[in-house]
Amino acid sequence: MTLAQRLRTVALAIILTWGWKRAAIAMAAGALSVLALSPFNAWPVLFLTFPVLVWLIDGAGGGRFGGVPAAALTGYWFGLGYFVPGLYWIGYAFFVDAQTFAWLTPFAVLGLPAYLAIYTAIGFALARLFWTKDAARILALAASLTVAEWLRGHALTGFPWNAFGYALFEPLPLAQTASLIGLWGMTFLTVAIFASPAALIDRTADRKMPWRAPAAAIVLLMIMGIFGAIRLSLHPTTMVAGAKLRLMQPNLQQDAKFNYSAKAEVMKKYLALSDRASGPQSTGVRDATILIWPESAFPFFLTREADAMAQIADLLPKGTVLITGSVRAPDLPPGRRITRAYNSIYVIDHDGGVLSVYDKLHLVPFGEFLPYQDLMEELGFEQLTRVQGGFIPGTVRHALPVPSAPSALPLICYEAIFPGDVAGLKERPGWIVNLTNDGWFGISTGPYQHMEQARMRAIEFGLPLVRSANTGVSAVVDPVGRTIASLGLGIEGVLDSGLPAAIPPTLYARVGDIPAALLVALAVILAVRKRVARRHS
């Protein structure tokens, strides 16, 4: 038996599978597909798992209503298999305050994937509506899953974590295509490229195995790699003159970060660590013009603690500013009890004055607010941060002016996973500053995934990324995605670096998701034409 015959035998066995075996195959394909993501980046595995999806949808045609419900159910099982191992680390957050939240862990670890799998089910159902008997069905699947992933990234505040397009992030030359088509275009290419071997079982009119689809996919990968290598060579890393960064990564435990009684301990650690010498020639914080601390750095309202502000002023030499995360109290009449707060970023001058503030717009559901907040609180529920009433969302995204450097686009925590949160500013910033606290998720794959997705924003928009994380990964990334300096997960320390300079706006920065929409539209048109032509033949 030849290799082609063996492949066809395996494919037919998958196509004809039904019931629990079909669900098991779909879930296994989803689970294995997670290996394509950070920190593993084993993307060739998708050449094995994505063809299985095509064959499963082929087999759904024997069901009722054109196989659409069967395809949707298959997509649901694939999504569940993909999201449970991809997002298992969310369960760590519920053990920070185990006495209160540990019982919710199974609901989070299984409940969120169960919800997100609805979108892959939608994608499979849409694909089945446009399904053909030739290689055009691969494009139908790519278009439909791209639409479904876009919906996942926008509906109900959105959660585009681990979108399929991140599979082509490594090696770095492949990721450069994101500068043209963004995350959603990369998602389309990922599905189309890796699902292409499914066409090897098709029979053409001359009875030859159709090698054209996988060959085209390999050629496309090569073109992406060549384009990326050229782009990287054309944009060597250059630094902003006079800007010297110092990122402080305290690796502080979560119980200290939210415990007011640990105020003195927290400040002492931050101050000492920020002024730590990082080498024989280092003079501590005096080497830096910009000191950066992570998200929600303090277990108190920073600007309402005069002693803390005075300590910061004493730490900062003239000409140095601090960019730090902190909860911020709303402006209330004197004597009014504070029950809610903003998750904010401050820029603080060397004399302790606040130069500018940004309030987080894109809050985390169940972490920073509850859907139907009042009702849920009446029923006894509360979000992980335990802020009564939930955090208050900001009103506008704006760049932060920073002395001795270009203006910075602030992104707090998972705001960095939304391409749309970077786009849309009237004035282009000079860099992205991402403050986060991934300490919720321990030593797991979650912080690595978060770092990778933030790096994608740098490539998409041609802007350097400076990322300060409580427990890691903290890093300085240039505008084409090179990591200039980094501190690993679970490490305490400081990171000194220059500030990479931005490059001219990318195609994606100028036109947004239009190229991705065109790819989807062309694929759908081709699939529909093939389907119509088959009916009239």
Q: Return the active site residues.
A: 295, 360, 413
CA distance 163 to 416: 13
CB-count exposure of residue 69 (10 Å: 0-12, 13-18, 19+):
middle
Q: Is 466 helix (H, G, I), strand (E, B) or coil?
A: strand
Query: Using alpha carbons only, how large is the chain's radius of gyration in Å?
Result: 25
Q: What is the DSSP string of 103-143?
A: GGHHHHHHHHHHHHHHHHHHHHHHHHHT--SSTHHHHHHHH
CA distance 320 to 475: 20
**How many Cβ atoms sit within 10 Å of the Cβ of residue 250?**
23
CA distance 142 to 402: 42
Whether the CB-CB separation of 364 and 391 falls below 8 Å is answered with no
Q: Is 281 helix (H, G, I), strand (E, B) or coil?
A: coil
Whether the CB-CB separation of 371 and 390 falls below 8 Å is answered with no
Whether the CB-CB separation of 422 and 457 falls below 8 Å is answered with yes
138-161: b or e for each residue (b if 16 or more CB lie within 10 Å)? Answer: bbbbbbbbbbbbbbbbeeeebbbb
- H or E segment at 33? helix 20-33
Whether the CB-CB separation of 408 and 398 falls below 8 Å is answered with no
Q: How far is CA 2 from CA 7, 14, 185, 215, 487, in A?
A: 9, 19, 36, 19, 50
Residues in the chain: 537
CA distance 270 to 325: 13
Q: What is the DSSP string of 360-425?
A: --SPPBTTTB-TTHHHHHHTT---TT--TT-PPP-S---PBP-TTS--EEEEEGGGGG-GGGTTT-
Which residue pairs, CB below 8 angstroms and at least 24 apart, start in 210-213?
210/134, 210/135, 212/135, 213/135, 213/138
**Bridging pattern class, strands 431-436 and 408-412:** parallel
CA distance 502 to 406: 9
Tokens of 392: 């208050």
- H or E segment at 240? strand 239-249
- Compute φ and ψ for 95, nearest 5 degrees: -105, 0
Cβ-proximal residues to 283 (8 Å cutoff; 6+ apart), any chain: 277
